[in-house]
């Protein structure tokens, strides 16, 4: 536990106010790992959507559904498995192993830090660019 806290503190210290986010990497991650279910347009209409018990979310309306604030913490926790969703017999995402790790940090709109992996930081940065009206 202590090493996790120290790792988190180090990540937040190193990250400083401007956290490294690569939207282009996030877009590529989305195409490779998310589009089969959420669709290339991220509207929930991917080729696998029809066979899923729980239909994929429209990821372009997250900010709208959360009263105008992008739900960073919820999105991170959904992707990394801290807020699991079982949609087809296994936790979402299918590629969860790829997103494991705690080598990066990001902040919620309220400034709360979240320790996660660099691929998730990049993917969330990309998802934020897809929001309707932004």
Residues in the chain: 134
- Domain residue ranges in the chain: 2-129
State the pLDDT at residue 19. Answer: 65
pLDDT of 15 above 50 = no
State the pLDDT at residue 91. Answer: 63
Contact by Cβ (8 Å): 39, 133: no
Residue 22: which pLDDT band, with cuts at 50, 70 and 90?
A: very high
pLDDT of 99 above 60 = yes
In which residue are the tokens 């790790």 written? 101
State the pLDDT at residue 5. Answer: 46
Q: What is the pLDDT of residues 35-88, one digit of tens each?
A: 999 999 999 999 999 988 888 999 999 999 999 999 999 999 888 888 777 655
Task: Collect contacts of 60-64 with beta carbons under 8 A, ≥24 apart.
Answer: 60/130, 60/131, 60/132, 61/131, 61/132, 62/127, 62/131, 63/128, 63/131, 63/132, 63/133, 63/134, 64/131, 64/132, 64/133
Rounded distance between C-alpha atoms, residue 60 and residue 41, angstroms: 8
The pTM (predicted TM-score) of the whole model is 0.79
Q: DSSP states of 51-101 as a string?
A: G-SSPPP-TTSHHHHTTTS--HHHHHHHHHTSS--BSSSSBSPTTGGGG--
State the pLDDT at residue 103. Answer: 85
CB count in 10 Å sphere of residue 3 = 7
Rounded distance between C-alpha atoms, residue 83 and residue 65, angstroms: 18
């Amino acid at each position: 536990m202590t090493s996790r806290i120290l790792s988190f503190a180090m990540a937040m210290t190193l990250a400083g106010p401007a956290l490294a986010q690569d939207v282009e990497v996030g877009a590529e991650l989305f195409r490779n790992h998310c589009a089969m279910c959420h669709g290339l347009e991220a509207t929930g209409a991917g080729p696998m959507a029809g066979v899923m018990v729980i239909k994929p979310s429209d990821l372009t309306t997250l900010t709208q559904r959360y009263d105008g604030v992008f739900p960073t913490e919820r999105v991170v926790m959904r992707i990394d498995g801290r807020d699991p969703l079982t949609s087809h017999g296994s936790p979402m995402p299918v590629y969860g192993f790829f997103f494991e790790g705690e080598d990066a940090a990001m902040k919620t709109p309220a400034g709360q830090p979240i320790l996660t992996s660099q691929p998730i930081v990049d993917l969330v940065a990309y998802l934020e660019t897809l929001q309707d009206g932004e």
